[in-house]
Amino acid sequence: MTGNHKVAYTTLMDSVFKALADPTRRLILDVLSEEDNQTLFELRTRLIMEHHVDMSRQAITKHLAILERVGLVTTARSGRYKQLHFNRQPLSEIAQWLEKYRSS
Amino acid sequence: MKIAIDSVFVPDQEAALKFYTEVLGFKKKHDFPVGTYKWLTVVSPEQPDGPELLLEPDEHPAAKAFKKALMQDGIPFRAFGVDDVQKEYERLTSLGVKFTMKPRKMGPATIAVFDDTCGNLIQIAQKDERRS
């Protein structure tokens, strides 16, 4: 591994950990894992009605932007609406790192 | 005072009439020319003398921008009541209607959201609990 690789690896992992270091963003991922391709409306309705989390649209959008930046959420345009997808891939690197110490 | 007319903004009144009658099952109530456009309303066959839905031209630029922004975030513009959301979901899906939100119980109601092909999302809702 070259020095550059190590920096890139650390930076990505850092930002994924940072994105996850917030209970609201973890809740958003939990809600998105229940049903794929939700609209912002559906996500917000589920947060309010099922989790009693009443956030403004702007607040949710801000959290989603952070999750999108690290690749945990991707958006697809289906016709004229945006659909949200929970991409688990960035978690695998973290999981591998955690796995090393899980049973020690 | 009572609510007599509600409306949806549509780009093409004839296409909208086709969807709202042939697919959703509403009935045409009024249809007469007003300038370039028409005063075109539909009613529910369950309430022929109830509130009318006006299929209103969306020619104003603000209406188009408004619709686009709502649709992007999946926000329904109007809500209709049904007895059984799941049944209606299955019926409309079989007719090719696209849903952005599948039926789901949300507190006192079950709701679902579909695309009306005229640039609007519409919510259908069923009351699960009745107040006595």
Binned at pLDDT 50, 70 and 90, residue B130 comes out as low
Place of tokens 């042939």: B22
pLDDT band at A77 (very low <50, low <70, confident <90, very high): confident
Residue B120: list chain A partners with CB under 8 A: none
Q: What is the pLDDT of residue B132?
A: 44
Instruction: Look at chain B and report how many structural domains it folds into.
Output: 1
Asked which of A89-98, B16-25, B74-83, B99-108 is least confident by mean pLDDT, the reply is: A89-98
Give the CB-side neighbour count of residue B92, counting CA atoms within 13 A: 28
Q: Which residues of chain A are within 8 Å of residue B119 when distances are taken between CB atoms?
A: 80
CB pairs under 8 A between A and B: 50
Q: Residues B123, B126, B127, B128: is their CA dihedral positive or negative?
A: negative
Residue span of the structural domain in which B62 resides:
5-127
What is the DSSP secondary structure assignment for residue B51, as one 8-state letter? -
Average pLDDT, whole number, for chain B? 96
Residue B26 lies in a domain: yes
Residue A56 pLDDT greater than 70, yes or no: yes
**Nearest residue of B to residue A39 by CA position?**
B74
Determine, yes or no, domain membership for B132. Answer: no
pLDDT, tens digit (0-9, with 9 covering 90-100), for B21-43: 999 999 999 999 999 999 999 99
User: What chain B residue is nearest to A34 in terms of C-alpha separation?
Assistant: B104
Residue B44 lies in a domain: yes
pTM: 0.89
Q: What percent of chain B has pLDDT over 70?
A: 98
Whether residue A80 and residue B68 make contact (CB cut-off 8 A), yes or no, is: yes
CB-CB: which of A45, A50, A80 is closest to B72? A80
Could you give the 3-state DSSP secondary structure of residue B59? Answer: coil
DSSP designation for B71: H
> Over pLDDT 70: what percentage of chain A?
89
Residue B114 lies in a domain: yes
- CATH label of the domain that carries residue B20: 3.10.180.10
Q: Which residues of A touch B111 (CB under 8 A)?
A: 45
pLDDT digits (tens, 9 = 90+) for A2-44: 455 555 556 888 999 999 999 999 999 999 999 999 999 999 9
Report all structural domains of chain A as residue ranges with CATH numbers, in order of start: 3-102 (1.10.10.10)
